């Protein structure tokens, strides 16, 4: 299963599932459904978690135009419409 942004934030910040569930005032089972993407995060829950993690709640809802995140040693800006992860070397013209 792919890691969601909620799981990445929780593990990077070293929180247990029960801690984040308590912050949202939901059961652990309910939070696990939200974290795995089975249940959609509400606007109110996104606001609570945005404040909890210190990020813009729009990023948690997937409605931001770009996502900036720092996880471990990696830092990325993801632009929802033009996401590309790879080398950004200039194209060379092979014509002499």
pLDDT at 84: 44
Q: Measured in whole angstroms, how far is the alpha carbon of residue 55 from the centre of its chain? A: 10
Query: CATH number for the domain including 41?
Result: 1.10.260.40
The answer to whether residue 88 sits within a structural domain is no
Q: By residue range, what is the domain housing residue 9? A: 5-63
Pick the range with the lowest mean pLDDT from 13-17, 20-24, 72-76: 72-76
Tell me if 75 is assigned to some domain: no
Q: What is the mean pLDDT of the chain?
A: 77
Residue bearing the bigger pLDDT, 76 or 24: 24
Look at the block and give the residue holding tokens 């809802």. Answer: 61
pLDDT one-digit tens code per residue, 51-87: 999 998 988 887 655 455 555 565 555 444 444 444 4
Q: Coil, strand or helix: which one is 48? A: helix
Specify the pTM: 0.64
Residue 56 lies in a domain: yes
**Residue-level pLDDT at 81:** 44
The per-residue DSSP string of 8-38 comes to HHHHHTT--HHHHHHHHT--HHHHHHHHTTS
């Amino acid at each position: 299963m792919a890691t969601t942004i909620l799981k990445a934030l929780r593990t990077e910040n070293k929180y247990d599932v029960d801690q984040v569930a308590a912050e949202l005032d939901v059961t652990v089972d309910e939070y696990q459904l939200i974290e795995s993407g089975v249940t959609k995060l509400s606007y109110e829950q996104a606001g609570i978690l945005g404040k909890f993690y210190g990020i813009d709640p729009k990023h948690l809802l997937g409605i931001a135009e770009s996502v900036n995140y720092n996880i471990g040693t990696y830092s990325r800006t993801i632009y929802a419409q033009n996401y590309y992860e790879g080398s950004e070397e200039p194209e060379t013209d092979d014509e002499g």
